Amino acid sequence: MNRPRSSHGLLDPLLRFLFAALTLLLLNGCSSVAYYSQLASGQMHLLRARTPVAQVVADPSRDPTLRAHLAQSQRARSFASQHLHLPDNNSYRLYVDIGRPYVVWNVFATPEFSLSPQTHCFPIAGCVAYRGYYSQGAARGEAALQRQKGMDVAIGGVEAYSTLGWFDDPIISSMMHWGDERLATLIFHELAHQRFYVKDDTEFNESFATFVEQEGTRQWRAYRGLPPQDNADVRQRDQFIQLLLDARKRLEQLYAQPLSAEQMRQRKAQEFEVLRRDYRQLRDREWAGSKRYDAWINAPLNNARLLPFGLYDQWVPAFAALFKEVNGDWPAFFLAVEKLGRLPAEQRKADLLRLQSALSAKPAPTPDL
């Protein structure tokens, strides 16, 4: 296992790398100097502020609750490499306090009558369906510009992100608001991105990492002798996501029709009201009135607000089916994922659909540790 090291010795090569990446992006005309400057400065701030977790835990002057959370995080971090076969490096063995609730804010945008996201392309990550800002004010400014262009826009705060193994990603204070288990799931999710990543396929990458997060959390609980997650909470989450995915399908069918803009706008509003109605019926009929998702559903709805759900969840059942095909063997699973990722995009999608259909037709128990 690699030992945590100070970030200071890395700064010169990192500055050279970031300057080269920024120059390449600007020469390619991808976007403005201001946007890529804030990306470079935001990342550099994180790199400079990193402290080894072991140092924070051993410091009696630091907050005891923070030290306890970080100590538990390192047990989850070791489990990730030793049992889930995720990368064994210095990522998430370092800590940064950023003093804000999210590390970045992502801006999602779609045309008014489409669920196709506005994509942005980067040399390392490829094309993604959002644009990230280290400042909430900057994200709001970008969102306002997109609205002026007639786009549907949504802003989502992000607790963590992966640099795909280019740097030693730290545990960020924004990852710690929801307790030890949520922190563990974020570590599993972000390490999955380091384990494998396909350029230009956000749905594949996020669904893969979400499956690793969910199955990793199940195994992490079992490893500690804890019962499975509350079935009611899991069921509610899955049912809520399915409502949103169903709404996406209806909207896609609507947008394919030859209607005038005014007719399309009216029908679109009706579909969002159907979503709210279906949610209230589900909540009152099966959730005993739980208002877990009321704030989300009662906020203004548009295409862009639905984007993250399709991106993060679309292929999770397919990866679950693939995991069962290899009898829950993590190294074999990752090899199978890599094989899928090397396929041409259309063939990859066809294989994922086949896996998803197979899971629906023949459910199987999740293998034990």
- Is 147 in the same domain as 218? yes
Of 223, 251, 271, the residue at which a domain comes to its end is 223
Please indicate, yes or no, whether residues 216 and 325 belong to a single structural domain of this protein. no
Q: Are strands 120-122 and 131-133 parallel, antiparallel or unpaired?
A: unpaired
Contact call for residues 125 and 131 (beta carbons, < 8 A)? no
Task: Check residue 10 and give its pLDDT.
Answer: 42
Do 78 and 172 belong to one domain? yes
How far is residue 79's CA from residue 99's CA, in Å, rounded to a whole number? 28
Asked whether residue 218 falls in the same domain as residue 245, the answer is no
Indicate if 237 and 194 belong to the same structural domain.
Answer: no
Residue 152 has pLDDT above 50, yes or no: yes
pTM (2 d.p.) = 0.83
Q: Do residues 200 and 237 share a domain? A: no
Establish if 2 belongs to a structural domain. no
* Mean pLDDT, the chain, whole residue set: 88
Q: Are 334 and 341 in contact (CB under 8 A)?
A: no
Give CA–CA dist 245/307, Å, rounded: 10
Is position 239 within any domain?
A: yes
Strands 104-110, 131-133: pairing kind = antiparallel
Q: How many CB atoms lie within 10 A of CB 124?
A: 12
| 205/193 Cα distance (integer angstroms) | 7
117 occurs within a structural domain: yes
119 pLDDT more than 70: yes
From 170, 188, 223, the end of a domain falls on: 223
- Neighbour order of strands in the sheet with 131-133: 131-133, 104-110, 152-158
Same domain, yes or no, for 329 and 211? no
Q: How many domains does one find in the chain?
A: 2
The H or E element containing residue 132 is strand 131-133
Does residue 25 have a pLDDT over 60? no
What is the per-residue burial (b if ≥16 Cβ within 10 Å, else e) of 45-66? ebbeebbbbbebbeeeeeeeeb
Task: Check residue 362 and give its pLDDT.
Answer: 57
Domain boundary among 204, 223, 242: 223
Least confident of 133-142, 190-199, 256-265, 355-364: 355-364
Query: Which of the 8 DSSP states describes residue 131?
Result: E
Given a cut of 60, whether residue 337 has pLDDT beyond it is yes
Say whether both 123 and 265 belong to one domain: no
| φ, ψ at 119 (rounded to 5°) | -100, 155
Q: How many alpha carbons fall within 13 Å on the CB side of residue 213?
A: 20
In a domain, 367, yes or no: no
- How many angstroms separate the CA atoms of 331 and 347, rounded? 23
The Cα 98–Cα 197 span in angstroms is 27
Residues 259 and 192 in one domain: no
Among 26, 52, 51, 53, which Cα is nearest to 37's? 26
Asked if 328 contacts 216 with a C-beta cutoff of 8 angstroms, the reply is no
Q: Are residues 204 and 240 in the same domain?
A: no
Over the stretch 260-294, which tens digit does the pLDDT of each residue have?
999 999 999 999 999 999 999 999 999 988 999 99
Which residues are registered as beta bridge partners of 332? none
- Asked whether residue 368 is domain-assigned, the answer is no
Q: Are strands 131-133 and 152-158 parallel, antiparallel or unpaired?
A: unpaired
CA distance 315 to 35: 31
Distance CA 100, CA 76 (A): 24
User: Does residue 366 fall inside a structural domain?
Assistant: no
Residues 242 and 217 in one domain: no
pLDDT recorded at residue 234: 82
* In a domain? residue 271: yes
- Report the amino acid identity of residue 196: F
270 and 193 share one domain: no
Domain membership of residue 300 as a residue range? 231-361
In a domain, 17, yes or no: yes
